[in-house]
Structure 1
């Protein structure tokens, strides 16, 4: 029949499966899973928050904007490694072990953060300092390329039936923001505790060291998480058997390439907005307009706290009205959020606060949903690889380039182009998602 799914025979359980039944997350599982997600975001965001302070140490220049652009170029380089990490580790997770790949990812993230904390500056070892910084950020990119996909694959399998939106809102909204808030809060506390010249000289290293130490705790918390390659598909999924070869994973992913494109845009659009508000605007405030950094980080922390509190409610709202409807509604809110950034064009802490809290609330509504929506677009047999690769490509193309593009356009007096660009990407994500939905590419929640 036209438009209907072909009948598939359910594959019988085999020794490739670790768990015979679906498990629902316990509190310790949730803390371990969410804590690792939080640490990933803490370690990744700390670099963005500290870019204005570390830039003179690794990219010395008489022009602070040039130094900042150098730091943002390395920020973007870390994103380039994310698709490679997804391509290398995603199929391993889908074929062999979700949990093992997740543990590797969180270890590499934390170790890289600690090494950045003790890395000698340009004045000590010259260009080797810059090269080492790039290598460490590439390592973090490889790790996070796999972490996002595997964490979502585990979360969707451990979610209580019928509450996938609420649970992923908790993991990918509340815990993501816990990590981001933790980074901005540590930055706030360090900035408030030391003199400005001390912050510029060495105290910017402290948040990186904290991330490295937290990694040890999260490693042990994640021991409670079970393997989630399960024998029985939880959702209407035509592919129920774990792929035996990497080639099989890529073949299955090619068959759902429209879903992959939708994942790229669903994630890329919201990450464009996320890095505008979490990295671009705060660094413009600190590095270009020379606002009081303690207040800048304080406002950033308040914005993140608001995101964390209402994320589960947004997920529950999606469960109630259908994820597709909630996604479209929230995604359209990004358009005014992008245009609000035009208001912050000169030094004004009050304007900065207004833009961050009002526009940031619109971005936060999308941050609560985007991982859930992306996960619904992938069949479970390639869920880790599909979400990880789509996430990595989307965040690299759109998120990783955002801070650099935002600062560069403002410097060239073309700031008006940025919200147009962001709005077009947001609208494109809605269009492609709708096409994928009409072609039956939604596997959870509809």
Structure 2
């Protein structure tokens, strides 16, 4: 009788734990999804919004101006990470996550309603620039917080699969969602209507989506205080001061450099495939926009599926081995971009799906690798700053650089540049590993 009573009590408790775990995963992953949706939707719609904010007789010049603003938002991320990262490590993960998701939702709604150059002149371009800076500041610590929490919540022996879900599948779902919405909008209206006003629709959807994510994140527990280890070990304790965070971070500066390069090299490829190539197709070669968005969406499906699969593979073999093999495969993938030199939907599809698959496999692991390189006491700050620097220095300019080099007939420099940074990421990662600077066991 007592055994049956005990089972009856344990079963609801287990069910409640599973429901709580699902809510945490949805709140955590939903914010990651929103960040990437809002960030990517500007990139893929740049060719259509550019004439409204940066009018020019040369459409490529207009597009490059829009992509420059796209890149400018990345340069605000390190500042946001430096400000918000220590707040998250010392006081509250949840507070920083709520700031981030709220800023992204509001910013998307503002862009959807923003007056154009025709209405307010150069102020339109300035306002768009300011919004991107706000988004960069607010999301500076998002990656660090999300991955720091995810590595703590991951089931033992399944860190790769769980980080592949949060840092892979949810990221790709955000990118996929932005391209899918763009596809349906493009398929529903004419190219003239898309250029005139329909480009605003994906931004409006991002703002509404943000409201749902804000609700999900409001129910998240404050994980920092509940799981913190208040010990003398500076790599495990919660620091009393921001200065303590920075002191510890300086001691693991080789790991920080590895994080910057691990993230930066894959972000070169990410923004080349998700922003640079689609905008080249739409803005330079004047491909059918619905086909471009459809092909980019198909690539996103591959990326979504690969997240937990590649993460699970890293759980079975050593993470370092999986990372090294997949990262080095990125080098030949960069050179595939050289084949896209004229209008051809078939060639565009082959480059996006073929080379994009390798990029997607790497996107499934980079957050996991970066998180293992940071000790617990500075994990949020270290990953956030490393992420922000990697994305701003390497990822942000990637789309602009790809289009600019192609426009000036020196496209071969792009894969050379990407390959050098990729090789450096592997080399510095192994330097850090051999010095004992991997803080989560494989």
**TM norm. shorter chain > 0.5:** yes
CA–CA distance in 2 between the matches of 1:156 and 1:302?
29
Mark the runs of 5 or more structure 1 residues left unpaired by the alignment.
1-22
CA–CA distance in 1 between the matches of 2:383 and 2:185?
35
> Corresponding residue for 2:172?
177
The CA deviation string for residues 233-253 of structure 1, in whole angstroms up to 9 with x for no partner, is 59xx86221011111111110
Q: Does 1:127 align with 2:122?
A: yes
Checking the alignment, whether the CA contact within 8 Å between 2:140 and 2:384 is kept in structure 1 is yes
Q: Does 1:424 align with 2:420?
A: yes
Checking the alignment, whether the CA contact within 8 Å between 2:35 and 2:104 is kept in structure 1 is yes
The structure that is helix-richer by fraction is 2
CA–CA distance in 1 between the matches of 2:81 and 2:332?
32
Checking the alignment, whether the CA contact within 8 Å between 1:42 and 1:211 is kept in structure 2 is yes
The CA deviation string for residues 275-303 of structure 1, in whole angstroms up to 9 with x for no partner, is 00000000000000000000100000010
CA–CA distance in 2 between the matches of 1:170 and 1:199?
33
The CA deviation string for residues 304-334 of structure 1, in whole angstroms up to 9 with x for no partner, is 0111012101001111111111110110111
> Corresponding residue for 2:88?
93
Checking the alignment, whether the CA contact within 8 Å between 1:319 and 1:445 is kept in structure 2 is no
The CA deviation string for residues 57-98 of structure 1, in whole angstroms up to 9 with x for no partner, is 000000000000000110111001000000000000000000
Checking the alignment, whether the CA contact within 8 Å between 2:334 and 2:415 is kept in structure 1 is yes
Q: Does 1:401 align with 2:397?
A: yes
> TM-score, length-normalised on structure 2?
0.94
> TM-score, length-normalised on structure 1?
0.93
The CA deviation string for residues 87-113 of structure 1, in whole angstroms up to 9 with x for no partner, is 000000000000110011000011111
> Corresponding residue for 1:27?
22
CA–CA distance in 2 between the matches of 1:409 and 1:87?
32
Tell me how far 1:445 sits from its aligned partner: 2.7
Checking the alignment, whether the CA contact within 8 Å between 1:231 and 1:241 is kept in structure 2 is no
1:346-357 superposed matches below 5 A: 346-357=342-353
The CA deviation string for residues 4-55 of structure 1, in whole angstroms up to 9 with x for no partner, is xxxxxxxxxxxxxxxxxxx997111111111110000000000001000000
> Corresponding residue for 1:58?
53
- 109, 113, 138: which one pairs with 2:108? 113
Checking the alignment, whether the CA contact within 8 Å between 2:74 and 2:396 is kept in structure 1 is yes
> Corresponding residue for 2:99?
104
Checking the alignment, whether the CA contact within 8 Å between 1:37 and 1:179 is kept in structure 2 is yes
Moved more, 218-227 or 358-367: 218-227
Checking the alignment, whether the CA contact within 8 Å between 2:234 and 2:377 is kept in structure 1 is no
- 354, 357, 360: which one pairs with 1:358? 354
CA–CA distance in 2 between the matches of 1:225 and 1:383?
19
> Corresponding residue for 1:382?
378
Checking the alignment, whether the CA contact within 8 Å between 2:228 and 2:238 is kept in structure 1 is no
Q: Does 1:259 align with 2:258?
A: no
Tell me how far 1:225 sits from its aligned partner: 2.0
- 158, 161, 164: which one pairs with 2:156? 161
SS at 1:189's partner residue? helix
Tell me how far 1:143 sits from its aligned partner: 1.4
CA–CA distance in 2 between the matches of 1:197 and 1:95?
51
> Corresponding residue for 1:75?
70
- 410, 415, 430: which one pairs with 1:414? 410
Q: 4+ residue stretches of structure 1 with deviation over 6 A?
A: none
> Corresponding residue for 1:336?
332
SS at 1:145's partner residue? coil
> Corresponding residue for 2:238?
242
CA–CA distance in 1 between the matches of 2:146 and 2:127?
28
SS at 1:67's partner residue? helix
Mark the runs of 5 or more structure 2 residues left unpaired by the alignment.
1-16
CA–CA distance in 2 between the matches of 1:28 and 1:213?
19
CA–CA distance in 2 between the matches of 1:253 and 1:75?
29
CA–CA distance in 2 between the matches of 1:266 and 1:239?
22
CA–CA distance in 1 between the matches of 2:179 and 2:397?
21
> Corresponding residue for 1:217?
212
CA–CA distance in 2 between the matches of 1:101 and 1:122?
34
C-alpha RMSD of the superposition: 1.3
